């Protein structure tokens, strides 16, 4: 106890403050409660459906849950990007700018994979968990909002790979290396996906999204140029420090973000937007040609293409898509 008081005194002396006053404050202050720490009342005040259909609440909450998981992913991606975070004895956090430690890298990749596993497994809450008729009605009150406008999803992609791998697939091969981040940014797949094919103009959903997030996302991309997951892998590889487990973890992450999660998501779109028996397709709230746009097979978004054979790249997402649109 005496030792702790001595250390505390030193801590406050360093900034010219008095331990005595802090101890007085401690005597007077209340105990921390769970609900304050978690900000439970605030959290539970954020579900505000736009209609009276009860299932809209499920839709809102599940999106919020997903955004929180996305935030966990971003938390890990940022830690990997600054080459690991050390927390010292007195709780101070120091970025470590040396080459990333492979065990640290792997442990953070495992976390990322487990967050996406949770999202993939829980997507049934959307696919099976809402009444079809209610969904088709309340969605009309949500126009032109779309999950397409999730900035955190875009941030995860940008922090995971070199920007060129997120360029629309038709342009990817022709795109030259020496484009600036903001030039490459204009060619990203989701910008092309949200162009109205008839008018050749950007959808309103895309325009709104760009207005709110473009400068933030370009800054984000600049921050992760040379510091994204792939760059970190390459740093290690140059020093012969990579192993098969690391490659496996990166490939698993690639599959989860670019095939398995998009497929669970596509299943929900197919359930609600593809009308039974009539084969009619309902328009998406964000206005994309969703059957193609959401399908890994057509998008061929691959974070780490050089880790795969040509055959694996050709077959990217192939089997899954067949099973969704032509179930046995």
Binding of residue 146 to ligand HEM (CB under 6 A) = yes
Q: Which stretch binds ligand HEM (CB under 6 A): 141-149, 165-173, 218-226, 241-249?
A: 141-149
Beta carbons within 10 angstroms of residue 24's beta carbon: 11
Binding of residue 58 to ligand HEM (CB under 6 A) = no
Q: Do residues 257 and 157 lie in contact, with contact meaning Cβ atoms separated by under 8 Å?
A: yes
Among 79, 150, 231, 274, binds ligand HEM (CB under 6 A): 150
Element (H, E) at 85: strand 85-87
Among 53, 55, 58, 66, binds ligand HEM (CB under 6 A): 66
Binding of residue 105 to ligand HEM (CB under 6 A) = no
Binding of residue 115 to ligand HEM (CB under 6 A) = no
Nearest to 204 by CA among 256, 264, 143: 143
Beta carbons within 10 angstroms of residue 271's beta carbon: 16
CA angle 52, 56, 62 (to 5 degrees): 155
Binding of residue 272 to ligand HEM (CB under 6 A) = yes
Binding of residue 286 to ligand HEM (CB under 6 A) = yes
Q: Do residues 284 and 145 lie in contact, with contact meaning Cβ atoms separated by under 8 Å?
A: no
Cα–Cα distances (Å) from 173 to 169, 170, 300, in that order, read 8, 7, 13
- Spell out, one character per residue from 223 to 262, where the chain touches ligand HEM: x when CB under 6 A holds, - when not: ----------------------------------------
Q: Do residues 304 and 250 lie in contact, with contact meaning Cβ atoms separated by under 8 Å?
A: yes
User: From the CB of 261, what's the least distance to ligand HEM, in Å?
Assistant: 9
Q: Do residues 144 and 206 lie in contact, with contact meaning Cβ atoms separated by under 8 Å?
A: no
Cα–Cα distances (Å) from 209 to 7, 66, 168, 172, 206, in that order, read 50, 19, 18, 23, 5
Question: Which residue number, 54 or 95, has a Cβ lying nearer to ligand HEM?
Answer: 54
Binding of residue 265 to ligand HEM (CB under 6 A) = yes
Binding of residue 269 to ligand HEM (CB under 6 A) = yes
Binding of residue 190 to ligand HEM (CB under 6 A) = yes
Residue 274: φ, ψ to 5°: -105, 110
User: From the CB of 3, what's the least distance to ligand HEM, in Å?
Assistant: 49
Binding of residue 49 to ligand HEM (CB under 6 A) = no
Question: Which residue number, 100 or 206, has a Cβ lying nearer to ligand HEM?
Answer: 206
Binding of residue 264 to ligand HEM (CB under 6 A) = no
Q: Which stretch binds ligand HEM (CB under 6 A): 24-32, 109-117, 142-150, 174-182?
A: 142-150
CA angle 74, 123, 293 (to 5 degrees): 75
**Exposure pattern of 164-202 as b/e (b: 16+ CB <10 Å)?**
bbbbbeeebeeeeeeeebeebbebbbbbbbbbeeeeeeb
Binding of residue 316 to ligand HEM (CB under 6 A) = no
User: From the CB of 327, what's the least distance to ligand HEM, in Å?
Assistant: 17
Question: Which residue number, 108 or 155, has a Cβ lying nearer to ligand HEM?
Answer: 155
User: From the CB of 148, what's the least distance to ligand HEM, in Å?
Assistant: 4
Binding of residue 62 to ligand HEM (CB under 6 A) = yes
Token digits of residue 273: 């937007």
Question: Which residue number, 65 or 164, has a Cβ lying nearer to ligand HEM?
Answer: 65
**Residues near ligand HEM, by CB under 6 A:** 62-63, 66, 126, 146-148, 150, 153, 190, 265, 268-269, 272-273, 284-288, 290, 293-294
């Amino acid at each position: 106890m005496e030792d702790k008081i001595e250390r505390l005194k030193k801590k406050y002396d360093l900034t010219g403050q008095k331990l005595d006053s802090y101890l007085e404050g401690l005597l007077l202050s209340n105990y921390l409660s769970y609900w304050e720490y978690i900000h439970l009342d605030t959290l539970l005040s954020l579900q505000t459906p736009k209609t009276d259909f009860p299932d809209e609440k499920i839709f809102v909450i599940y999106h919020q849950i997903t955004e929180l998981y996305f935030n966990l992913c971003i938390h890990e991606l940022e830690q990997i990007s600054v080459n690991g975070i050390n927390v010292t004895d007195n709780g101070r956090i120091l970025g470590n700018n040396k080459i990333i430690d492979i065990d640290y890298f792997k442990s953070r990749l495992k976390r990322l994979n487990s967050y996406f596993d949770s999202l993939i497994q829980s997507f049934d809450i959307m696919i099976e968990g809402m009444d079809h008729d209610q969904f088709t009605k309340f969605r009309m009150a949500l126009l032109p909002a779309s999950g397409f406008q999730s900035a955190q999803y875009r941030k995860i992609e940008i922090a995971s790979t070199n920007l060129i791998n997120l360029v629309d697939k038709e342009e990817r091969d022709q795109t030259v290396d020496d484009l600036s981040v903001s030039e490459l940014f204009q060619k990203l797949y989701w910008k092309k996906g949200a162009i109205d094919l008839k008018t050749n103009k950007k959808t309103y959903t895309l325009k709104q999204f760009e207005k709110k997030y473009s400068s933030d996302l370009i800054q984000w991309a600049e921050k992760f140029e040379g510091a994204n997951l792939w760059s970190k892998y390459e740093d290690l590889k140059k020093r012969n420090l990579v192993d098969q487990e690391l490659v496996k973890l990166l490939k698993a992450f690639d599959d989860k973000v670019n095939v398995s999660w998009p497929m669970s998501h596509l299943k929900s779109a197919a359930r609600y937007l593809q009308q039974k028996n009539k084969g009619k397709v309902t328009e998406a709230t964000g206005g994309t040609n969703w059957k193609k746009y959401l399908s890994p097979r057509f998008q061929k978004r691959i974070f780490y293409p050089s880790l795969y054979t040509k055959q694996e790249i050709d077959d990217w997402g192939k089997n899954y898509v067949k099973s969704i649109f032509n179930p046995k």
